[in-house]
Each structure stands twice: as C-alpha cells, then as structure tokens.
Amino acid sequence: MVGDMTEKETEKAYIHWLYQAAGMGSRTFLRDLEQVGTARAVYEMAARGVLADRLQDRYRKKGGKLQNAVKDYDVIGRYEEMTARGISMVTCREEGYPRRLAAIQDAPYVLYYAGSLPDEERHCVAVIGARSCTEYGKAMAKEFGAVLARAGILVISGMARGIDGIGQSAALEAGGYSMGVLGCGVDICYPSENRALYERLLAQGGVCSEYPPGTAPKAVLFPPRNRIISGLCDGLLVIEAKERSGTLITVDMALEQGREVYAVPGRVTDALSAGCNKLIRQGAGLVAAPEEFLEDLQAETAGNTGRFLSGRQLSFQIEGTQMEGTQKELLKLLDFQPSSMEALQEAYEDAYGRSIGIPKLCHTLVQLCVDGYAGQIGGSYYLKRRT
C-alpha cells in the first residue's frame, strides 16, 4: 500500500496522525518534535514505546499520549479515507502552503482544505463584520462582495452568519472566488443555515481550517481562526461591527500581521457602525464606494503582482426609468434603514404636503419591491435596495 504513495504523501499521513493525536494548541510541541525526526520516525518511536524517553521533560506527558494514540490507528488508511472525501492537507513546510499565511507569526502548522486554495498571484481581501447585522450592513456586504469579485479580487471570510456569509455569497454569485475559514473541521458546515453557501464554496472556491476533519464547532476554536482569515488576505474590509466585538479582534490581528484595514462608515447613532467609525478614527481607510476602495488597494499594492479588473461604477442613484409619480416620490423617502409604513406615510405628507392612504401606499411599495427598487422587511417595514 505504501508503495502507491510518494514519500511525501506518506509523511503527510503520519503528520495527520500526529496532528490529531497531539491535540489542539500544540504548535510549539509539534515544532519541537521536528528535532526528534520525521513524523514517521516519531510514529515508530511511539509504537515501540520509546518516544516519551526521547523527549524533554516537559513533553513527557504528551509523549505518553502519543504512544497511546498509536493503538488501533491505521495511519495510511485514515489518510486515504480523508483524501478520498476531497479533503486535502498542506503543512507549513511544504510548497503550496499559502505564502501570505506562512509569513505570519503563529501560522498553523497544518492547513486542511476542501475545494481550492486562493491563487497566490491574485489579490485577497477579507470581508468581515457582525453576525447580527442591519439591513444596511447586508446591502453593503452584498455590494462589496460582488464588486470585489468582479474586479478579480478573492474574498476571504469566516462563512459566519451575517456579513461574512452575505459577502461571500455575493462574491460567488458574481462569479468570483471565495475562501471560507472555518472554526471546525472542513467537513462540517457551521452554521448549518449556510449549507447552500458551503456547497457553493466547495464547488467554486474553498473552505479551510487548521482543525482536523470531524472537529465539532466550539466557541474556543473560533477566535484562533480569525488570525487565518487576516493571514490569508492582503487587506481587511470591515462592513459593520459593534464597538466591542469579535470583528475588532480580527482587526487587531490583521494590524499585527501588517495588513491594511478598511472600514465602511455608518451613522454615528448606529451601534453596529460604532466599531467601523472607531476604526476610521484610528486611521483605517474610509471606504465610501467600492471603486474608491479598488483604487486604494491598487495604490497600496503598486508594483505588486495583484491583478485588477476595472471596478464597476457604483450607482446608488436610481435611474428614473418609466416610473410613475408616486413611485418616484416614495422612492426618495426610502432609506437603506427600514422605515415603517406609518413613518413613510408621515414623511410623504411632510415632503409633498398631501396625504397618501394606506391602500395607495401598499400598492406603490409592492410595485417598488417587485421592480427591485425596494424591499420589505418584516411586516410593514420597507427599505431602499439597489437595482
């Protein structure tokens, strides 16, 4: 059986064993183990029960654990089983390990992935933000995800609820590449509601994780994966974040790793924009429109190999194509934040000096929704959407 595999693959199978057996949080231990020999050598020592004695005193216990983990473990079989499922692994000592990620401190020793890894020649941007986001945030994530993808930029994110998932979905929708960095095994779709996105990432992009397949999502696993998100990208774009949030932890990591940080501003009164506004105050790039953002990125990476397509002009103004008077009037009153039917009724009266009845209002709003100018949220809230 071993004959079928190259030397390198066989070694990887042993690394896979070692990685699972050593458990999470053993990065230093694994590096130190390299002093002892190859993973295969470690395995053989463990199988003979002599490993623990060869290690420094502080690793005795871990060595014992490895010796126990040898039992009933089919190294090659398990590795082949994994690759047969479409899951690959790459170690930081190997060619093919993402170069950007390799450069960070504390890079994961092994990266498991399904689908493909991001193209090293292309520019990567992480689009991140709050899980529980506003309609404004959703609209922005969608917009930026799509624009970046169309400009040929790879979108990295955490496949989480809210901004992450929406931005990635939009990028894939626009025909781009996206990579989801998971806090669980790559064979597990978490959160399960992002199943469609997960499937699409496997087909059109990729998912990766530093945890072995089968690792269940746990709260403690998620903060460390944020360093991989920022590590994989050249720049980080924050769409929406509260003042104290996980998103800002990712930003801190990105800054440590020397990545550019950009943020989409929001209203001063919005709790979910407080984080972004604070970042801007601290010097993050203010991104008000995707094409500006693309220019900034280009300037930042001048001389770099990053390849850009032309950014599409973003137009928040609606072209008044064959719209009747009331529709136009009403559209002017709509905002990216949802407004209630009552509020619209009142605003209409204030703006135009005449009142509009509920039936007429309903009729016009439904028309705007169907034409894609507006959206209905909940029962009686409406907001502006781009066409």
Binding site for other proteins (CB under 8 A): 131-135, 161-162, 191, 193, 269-272, 338, 340-343, 345-346, 358-360, 362-363, 365-367, 369-370, 376-381
For residue 126, the SS3 value is: strand
In whole angstroms, give the CA distance from residue 358 to residue 162: 32
Q: How far is the CB of 38 from other proteins (least distance, A)?
A: 45
Instruction: Name the residue nearer to other proteins (CB basis): 52 or 369.
Output: 369
For residue 355, the SS3 value is: coil
DSSP string, 159-185: --TTHHHHHHHHHHHTT--EEEEPSS-
Burial, 310: exposed, middle or buried (Cβ in 10 Å; 0-12, 13-18, 19+)?
exposed
Q: How far is the CB of 129 from other proteins (least distance, A)?
A: 12
- Each as own residue / partner, the long-range contacts of residues 59-66 (CB below 8 Å, 24 or more positions apart, any chain) are 59/29, 59/32, 62/22, 62/26, 62/29, 65/21, 65/22, 65/23, 66/18, 66/21, 66/22, 66/42
Instruction: Name the residue nearer to other proteins (CB basis): 319 or 350.
Output: 350
Q: How far is the CB of 264 from other proteins (least distance, A)?
A: 15
Q: How far is the CB of 273 from other proteins (least distance, A)?
A: 10
Instruction: Name the residue nearer to other proteins (CB basis): 66 or 160.
Output: 160
Preceding omega of 191 cis (within 30 degrees of 0): yes
Q: How far is the CB of 105 from other proteins (least distance, A)?
A: 33
Instruction: Name the residue nearer to other proteins (CB basis): 220 or 370.
Output: 370
Longest dimension (CA), the chain: 90
Q: How far is the CB of 85 from other proteins (least distance, A)?
A: 28
Instruction: Name the residue nearer to other proteins (CB basis): 22 or 163.
Output: 163
Instruction: Name the residue nearer to other proteins (CB basis): 25 or 378.
Output: 378
Is-contact 253 224, C-beta < 8 A? no
